[in-house]
Structure 1
């Protein structure tokens, strides 16, 4: 049986694969919540909440159960995912049927079939930016092992999310300046290569790209393209020697 640490390393590898795949931000976030639901053993649904105007908005989910459970919280502006997002703490609910916090949310969640939940804060660049919300239809579904796995995974997901949001921002500027040039794939590939070479997180790899861009006074996408090009040339040289 895989340990929590092994599960986290596996998740990190899958997050790296998502980053280098080159899809748009919406696709990345959709894949991210699907991966979260697979990694946490007893999770049946997952939603990703990001902060907006003091409340939250679900930007990706595994399906209707997570969507509705999130929405019931936004309707009353109270609930475990909002508390996790606002306080930066992990919030676990053992049984919505007996939960007394955030009334009337727990009763509304139970009506949907949600009996337990686990919410983990996503802290991007030093500030709370959202929460990852895991749901189950059984009471007391989430064990301490589930929480440890989810916490370790959320830490990796936070770094990947920070990079994805920055890449999306780079894409937006590139579209306005260069008539639709898509740079996400190249930057994502460069981040992946640096993670492998330097044995660092996605956020640290993006920081290395940014530092190189500033020091050399060239655009971030050009630094990324240079890293990818050098790697491809190295592969070609090795193939030639073989």
Structure 2
């Protein structure tokens, strides 16, 4: 997995590589990776030509082996779609597309995202017990890559929020200094004046300070970004 992550340009490419390899090394004829965020499932990568259609059918009826695996965290094995009675019209839809067996494995991602790795085969009983155990390792690898990407995204969001907060703090400090100089008042009095102005005008304190500094300087303020620690 580490080799694949370093050799691909994105998590999307990594997952595509993973499903291609999973299909090539198993009895599957197709595979798709489903992720769900904000209650909306989406097939992010697929191979074999039918995975997207089968996934979309399940999304449309809000039921199916893929969604069951995603929601319960348990593997869902369909030995033969012609003998399957669960999930309404989905089994017959799959059979009409030539799919006779499927295996949906939950992808262990994290609290923000749910996922499933879905394998499809044109032959009934295509997934032996050994196949199911081997393919579970691909689900674990997919989960590791997605969780890593999610943590990186969360870290970037936190860093961005922190940077914005520090920039806002600098604007407020500059505005307080300007008010103190103009009114010959204390820092506390200057801040209280700016805060009251923010409340009375229903404008964020940062924006009140930015407008004040713009009016004083004749141009928008360009607060220095926070200093980065040296490596």
Per the shorter chain, which TM-score range? 0.5 to 0.7
Distance 2:2 2:72 in 1: 28
Residue 165 of structure 1 deviates from its aligned partner by 3.4
Residues 61-140 of structure 1: matches in 2 within 5 Å? Answer: 61-125=46-110, 129-140=114-125
Change (3 A) 1:146 1:22: closer
Task: Give 5+ residue unaligned stretches, structure 2.
Answer: 163-227
Aligned equivalent of 2:13:
27
Name the SS for the 1:134 alignment partner.
strand
> Aligned partners of 1:57, 1:34: CA distance in 2, in Å?
18
Seen in structure 2, the aligned counterparts of structure 1 residues 174 and 29 have a Cα distance that, compared at 3 Å, is farther
- Are 1:121 and 1:131, in contact at CA under 8 Å, matched by a contact in 2? yes
CA distance in 2, matches of 1:83, 1:64: 22
Residue 93 of structure 1 and its aligned partner are, at CA, apart by 0.1
Contact 1:72 1:109 in 2 (8 A): no
Preserved CA contact (<8 Å) 2:105 2:117: yes
SS in 2 for 1:161: helix
* Structure 1 gap segments, 5+ residues each: 1-14, 178-217, 227-242
Asked which structure has the greater RCO (Cα within 8 Å, sep 6+), the reply is 1
What CA distance in whole angstroms lies between the structure 1 residues aligned with 2:153 and 2:124? 38
Q: Secondary structure at the match of 1:138?
A: coil
Bigger radius of gyration:
2
The answer to whether structure 1 residue 161 and structure 2 residue 146 are counterparts is: yes
Q: What is the root-mean-square deviation in Å for CA atoms of aligned residues?
A: 2.9
Give the structure-2-normalised TM-score. 0.63
Give the TM-score taking structure 1 as reference length: 0.61
8 Å CA contact 1:25–1:168 kept in 2: the answer is no
